[in-house]
Amino acid sequence: MNKNFKVIQIHGLSGLLILGVVVTGLFCGFVIFPVWVIMNAWNAIVGDILHGPVINYFQAVLLWSAVALMFYIGLKNSISIKIQKEDYPDPKDIKDIVSEINENKDFEEEIREKEETRR
């Protein structure tokens, strides 16, 4: 077991209050504040300077979600292009596969013949 692993224990009402404050702070810091900044920046630049449409909080949430998703996908490095040489099977392997298929066909034909004789 990892000796550096520490478990956070919450004791009583004060622990729950501290947990609530921490969760609320993280939510405000990573969701509410960026949404407010995006909405005000958009409305100041696009709405006032460029005389374009203004956005509300819901549209700012959608814009923040799109930006966060683009950063997540862009920085994740999950999209990669790999070029590989195709491995062709040996002729011996192909012969083995064909012989197995033929054996299975023979076995299936025997089963069909037995079923027909029973009828």
Residue type at position 23: V
60 CB neighbour count, 10 Å cutoff: 20
Report pTM.
Answer: 0.53
**Unique residue bearing structure tokens 């037995």:** 114
> What does the domain layout of the chain look like in residue ranges?
11-81, 84-119
- In this predicted model, what pLDDT tens digit does every residue of 73-103 receive, in sequence order? 888 766 667 777 777 777 778 888 888 888 8
d(C-alpha 18, C-alpha 26), whole Å: 12
- In this predicted model, what pLDDT tens digit does every residue of 16-66 receive, in sequence order? 899 999 999 999 999 999 999 999 999 999 999 999 999 999 999 999 999
List Cα–Cα distances, 14 to 10, 21, 24, in angstroms: 8, 11, 15
